[in-house]
Chains A and B, each alone.
Chain A
Amino acid sequence: MFDKDAKIRPEDAETIIGAGVKVEGTLTAFGNVIVKGHVSGSVETKNEFHVEDGALIEADTTAQDAYIAGEIKGNLKIGGKIELAKSAKINGDITCRVMSIEEGATFNGHCAMGNTASAE
């Protein structure tokens, strides 16, 4: 969605996908991505990926850090830390450096952790 040399700060360009819309396709965002609605396809950001309770992601995702409280059907490639809240439901593989899982979260898939993980 953005040129690499775009003169905007990530905190100024937070993509917010609410419950009132559905997004399909390849979403490449410069800043953080916050999802409360439905996304299918693929998502890429060099910043934070935040999925709220009630959101549905049917997409492969690449991000630096992630907080997941919604449902994900797809693979997550996280360069840093991923947090799964108690309401999280994940069907897919996770690659990350650090992971925290709250009691009650559901995760069905493979997980690769350590220094080999990075958000390309």
Chain B
Amino acid sequence: MYLYLYDSFLVNPKYRKIIDRIENRIMALSIDGKVTRLTIIKNAKEIVTEQLKKGIETVVVVGGDELFFETASALVENRGVLGFIPIEPSSRMARILGLPIGEAACDVVSARRVQQMDLGKINNQYFLSSVVLNNNDVRIKCESSFVIDPLKSKLIRIANLDWIDFSLITHKKTIKKEISNPSDGLLELVFEQSGGFSFPFFKKKAYKKDSLFYVKNLRISKAGEEEITLTVDQTKIMKTPVTIEVAPRAIKVIVGRERMI
């Protein structure tokens, strides 16, 4: 049984046509199910937990990346498979997971190619994509065995399933890694240095990739007087100190043939 979780922004009439096309395709593929439209007062986690108890086996998010991340963290404590019908072409997850935008993604849901993935855990809260902090006044202890001092690195990303776009040329070869691996039982820890201002957008700061580590767990604490803010899965805000670890193979996700992972 399927539960379709509609993002709150889809109430805007401009999405009516695309929703109609998605619903028609769902009916044609015989993968129809219960539809719940999120509102400000309806929490995705509560809905998912309640519906899984009622026998829902697959939760399909129709909307944006943020709701997809929120639903993933709700699913991990229960059983179920997560699907995604992205609506906006700017969706980072759509590209990584190999999902077309709009009604064509219904065919991917129907094909049900399931991949088991890790999740990240920050102070006992799950995240699917990454944790980002834009401040190097921190102390990072990894695996209880070594400490990283960010020195000149301003942007720090702890990625489970995200773009990391790291490339390095050594005397022997070129190392290139676009996407973090969400199925290796490790988190990618990426440090970026501020590279001044990027052309032609002089007001936008550019960063150049500096360091890349693979870790199972780490602890981030403030190095100075003030606690540092971290952004989890592009939305949630947390403050140091935090303990971050990987939760191996914690969730099942429907992926497309054109996936980048």
Contact = CB atoms under 8 A, between A and B. Distances in A.
Interface of A: 1-2, 6-8, 12-31, 34, 37, 41, 50, 52, 67, 69, 85
A27 B211 contact: no
Nearest to B183: A7
Contacts of B150: 20-21
B251 to A, nearest CB: 18
A20 B147 contact: no
Contacts of A67: 171-172
Contact of B210 (A8, A18, A69, A85): A18
Interface stretch (B72-80, B185-193, B233-241): B185-193
Contacts, number: 99
B142 A1 contact: yes
A21 B191 CA distance: 8
Nearest to A69: B171
Nearest to A32: B175
Interface string B136-155: 00000011011111111100
A37 to B, nearest CB: 7
A1 B212 contact: no
Contacts of A14: 175, 212
Given A16-B175, A20-B193, A52-B170, A25 B210 contact: no
B4 interface: no
A113 to B, nearest CB: 22
- Which 5 A-B pairs give the minimum distances between C-beta atoms? A25-B146, A18-B210, A20-B210, A20-B153, A18-B211
Residue of A1, A17, A50 with highest tally of chain B CB at under 10 A: A1
Contacts of B160: none
Contact of B153 (A12, A13, A21, A41): A21
A19 B210 contact: yes
A38 B175 CA distance: 20
Contacts of A41: 146
B186 A23 contact: no
Contacts of A16: 166, 168, 175, 211-213
A63 B143 CA distance: 20
Contacts of A37: 151, 211
Contact of B214 (A15, A17, A25, A26): A15
Contact of A20 (B152, B181, B214): B152
A16 B210 CA distance: 8
Nearest to A17: B211
B184 interface: yes
Residue of A2, A16, A69, A85 with highest tally of chain B CB at under 10 A: A16
B184 A34 contact: no
Contacts of B192: 20
Given A6-B184, A7-B184, A22-B148, A30 B214 contact: yes
B104 interface: no
B151 A22 contact: yes
A73 B147 CA distance: 19
A29 B143 CA distance: 11
Interface string B166-179: 10101110010100
